[in-house]
Structure 1
């Protein structure tokens, strides 16, 4: 029987696959995984501040396509996760306001509900519900399947995309504060930064990396925010945790490392910070991840 810890891990993998497909401009594939996240949240009531942001992408897509039924559904889901996060991530609750103003979203939701009652787009809600029910039935039918091998397969797929490797994403129409030449130069330098694994350097800061690139910190921040849809801190976090997760999957030698050594290996000086970031991205603590991996490969 699949336990909740396994489902939590799978939810995290689905989220990062969905997010990274979105950043690469593959909207259709992204939505497949983001909708899987929604189904998993419904199933096991698990979420983190980052996984919760799945609904930001789903709401954006529904809005752009005029799908009021989906827009309302995802807004409801977004608001429902507040209570879970307020309990499990109380210290991070202030971040919720940065992504969405919940009070504003409630007001918009009321407007959408009113419009939905008088609009033929109400019909759109039906296939959405059918799709979700169908997906949950399939998940329920397959829950007896052996999970670890499936998880590792997903991680290997995740490995191919965890580097951002500069997607050809359209520049935001709202902001064009830097020249195309500067933006492309920074993209190329970010790609080189990733290929050379400079993200493993310790104590990196935004100004420090900007100086490496011969650019200002505001220029680098702009490209990360507007073209990769991440902050500098998130960017480093995903690269570092993705890197160490791959090592744990591919090389059993690293399964013998202590958590503090794994933290050092991926450029983090704090054991606690490493454990927190690992959990945010993989949905499982590093110690539990190692135990599960060793069990799968038959190591004691």
Structure 2
């Protein structure tokens, strides 16, 4: 399916790894959120400065405990992970939703729900995606009617492009179309959305093989995009009409339209629609009986797939054509190559869409080449292979079961000893901490080693003490850079002082504070022990269940689930 879903302009806020530039922190602290955001965008291409202004924005939001600003900061960080780590992006979007829920902001948390839905779609979790779109539209209906219809279009796109629910999608597109018709739809504010909705209607009609209605809306969309001088949309409507002419069997007209639009797709690096253009060129040449030209274009589809590893069910039809094309030519190697690719794509799509019960239908008869190859493999030394595999499997199974049972016994024993030791030590931990804090003095030898004045060390230690007492370590997404901005000092100073006086890295120091607090709260509060691990992670300042479990295990030698279960047993006795 030809798509109008252009890549978002990601608000790439590079989440801090280290800070290079020395700046006047007091000056940054005085800047407004608007100023910090302007400075960020004025320094696109200068990652060091962008990083600096991002940290200041987040620090300001944390210091002022401004929930909606925390939400926006987390949103920008989530978009940073758009390409690299979708699960992490979803975790930051959950933080956006948490901070902005009930805020009456025009875009939050609705935008966060939409972004989360997009990420879920990329993981083929379509039901969860629709659920998040529904949450977004409920919020937007109350706070921002224009954005409500943007969300409605997202739902229509998902239903048409992913779920093949074309009639339902068409109804939603028409609902949006009627809304935009009441607006000044040729202004910059509404033109793109209006034309995108027209495209969605045309594409749905094409999928339903209603070619006359498809042509009507393609012509309307072309006219509107020409009036507003939107070149990309103009050529998208041209490409879509080319695909529609193939359904009408007007192959020459189809070639004209597709060849006009293809250069625009290439110039804009719109690989999804470039792939669509080559596919439809292949279909058009096939309709004209030009087999070699058809094969050339289907091969180009395959070359794009090899780079992007993305292809929809609509465009895999070129592979059966190539399989039969090379079969007729007697080129077995090429035939086998495209059989292998096609079967691999089919397997991926079957797996991704299995939950929807919409499996991809195999469109070709398995060639004799594959059948002969499989028969040969199955016949050679079959008895020897079966015997060896059987004995090997039996031996490995016995060894694995025995090893697993012994490992489980040792693990349970070790866990129990660790739990008992942890409970015994916890009662004296507070007193020991007070003694250590009272006896700790500024060590002048250490001062010489780290090269920081005693006055600065005292100030930072006192601020760290307040940081601990006020439980600020429970703030999610806190970093040494954000803390240095809050403390009005240098992040390297904090790092060195934590290393020397806390005798651990900053990350270890932060995680240990959180885990020590978690141990205390879990033992004292029976309600907390009923929380999920994900909920506990957020409660104690971690971004996800995995990082909380890992830090808990590293600190105590126990998994949090085991600790909670044993505490419950002890409390019941």
Q: TM-score, normalised by structure 1?
A: 0.49
Bigger relative contact order, structure 1 or 2 (CA pairs below 8 A, ≥6 apart): 1
- Higher Rg: 2
